[in-house]
Amino acid sequence: MTDATPRPEPFTPHTPPAALDDLRARLRATRWPDVPEDAGWGMGADVDYLRELVTYWEREFDWTAQEAALGLLPHFRVRLGGLGIHYVHVRAAATAGPAMPLVLGHGWPDAFWRYVKVIPLLTDPGAHGGDPADAFDVVVPDMPGYGYSDRPAGEPLNSIAVAGLWAELMSVLGYPRFGAAGGDIGSHVSRYLALDHPDRVVAVHRTDGGVPLVTPGRPELAPEEREWIDGVAAWGAAEGAYAAMHRTKPQTAAVGLSDSPAGLAAWIVEKLRAWSDCGGDVERSFTKDEILTLVSLYWFTGTIGSSMRMYRANGSIPPEQLARRVEVPSGFALFPGDIVRPPRAWLERTANVVRVTEPPRGGHFAPFEEPALYAEELRAFFRPFRAAAAMS
């Protein structure tokens, strides 16, 4: 390497004791809102459930142990585009043979957390009932403004810019060709990796088709596409207030969410419940410790505001970028509990589709909810493209 080449450095997550003391004091001092009778989850976060969760957070949850468990993964930081970028990099098990490089993209409201359960299944499939030949070298970066990556000081980065950073990251790690996969904003980033770096991305796997670009008339759309787009609009009217806030006035919400851990938990947990395949009981998909590990990650890194600002950046992406078709071979796994699930006609309109599956379980956070199903999806999809990834 030359002096100008970015140099990855090992990174160990660590929270000072004073920050833990401050969190517990804030939790004890939570000022709870009044609650209309029988409100439940119908108006947003269920305050009764949040009281229970906050009590557990303050009295029983062991963040130090959870942070140490996360720290068992190999963490690194590297300077790219003027920002310190955090990523987890796990190479395939030594017994697995040649491995395919794979970069995984997370979304909101999460971070590298989305993939912690599935990483060992991808890097050492032979130890988890799979074929050792399906092993991956896995790279899971935190987007700028998320997790342990730096927050942009000025304008937030959009998905196109983040895709450029991930292409550079894979070069720094010595991977000229690789696969890309993701969901939510990570799907968006993976899409632009395939669009802007088709000579390097051998195939791309996504768990959604993104939010459709709505144009007047839509006479050329198939009936199922029109029905889906109308459904997306209806979903946005009923469930999209968070996204409108993120796109337009993220700093207003950031003040309260950065000051109140109970408020932060409400903002995140309501989405974990609504977007997962939990049947209305969030703890069917996530334990309290898993929920609070994610919420605590946001709290201690102070990234709720910066993560929301990315919606503002993505809201300004020109329509002509959103309308581009992905020609790199594309696969989609549409999990039943996810939101705005597109019809195949739309996927084929927007991408070079070679595989679409509908797994029996899982939702928006499928790699965390159903890691075995998600791992098998990636193994099966990328299997035909391994030889291409090995070519320099």
Residue 12: inside a domain = no
Task: For residue 316, give both structure tokens.
Answer: 């300004």
The C-alpha atoms of residue 159 and residue 147 are separated, in whole angstroms, by 16
What is the spatial distance between Cα 144 and Cα 156, in angstroms, rounded to a whole number? Answer: 8
Q: List the catalytic residue out of 110, 134, 137, 184.
A: 184
Neighbours of 386 (CB within 10 A): 18
- Selection from 308, 224, 223 nearest residue 258 by Cα: 308
What does the pLDDT average to over 329-346?
A: 96
Residue 60 pLDDT more than 70?
Answer: yes
In a domain, 23, yes or no: no
Averaged pLDDT score across all residues of the chain: 95
Set 175, 311, 338, 374: catalytic member: 311
pLDDT band at 387 (very low <50, low <70, confident <90, very high): confident
**Is 17 part of any domain?**
no
Give the pair of three-digit tokens for residue 18: 């004073």
Question: Could you confirm whether 3 is annotated as catalytic?
Answer: no
Q: Judge whether 274 lies within some domain.
A: yes
Does some domain include residue 30? no
Number of domains in the chain: 1
DSSP 56: H
Pairing of strands 9-10, 75-80: antiparallel
Domain that holds residue 202: 42-386
The C-alpha atoms of residue 188 and residue 183 are separated, in whole angstroms, by 8
Residues 6+ apart with CB under 8 A from 357: 331, 332, 333, 334, 377
Say which residues have a Cβ less than 8 Å from residue 49's Cβ, sequence separation at least 6: 41, 269, 282
Q: In angstroms, rounded to a whole number, what is the distance separating the alpha carbons of residues 127 and 129? A: 6
Q: Is residue 4 part of a domain?
A: no
Is 11 within the bounds of a domain?
Answer: no
Whether the predicted pLDDT of 47 surpasses 50:
yes
**Does 311 participate in catalysis according to the annotation?**
yes
CATH number assigned to the domain comprising residue 161: 3.40.50.1820
* pLDDT at residue 135 greater than cutoff 80: yes
Query: How crowded is residue 26: how many other Cβ atoms within 10 Å of its Cβ?
Result: 16
Is 364 designated active site? yes
124 occurs within a structural domain: yes
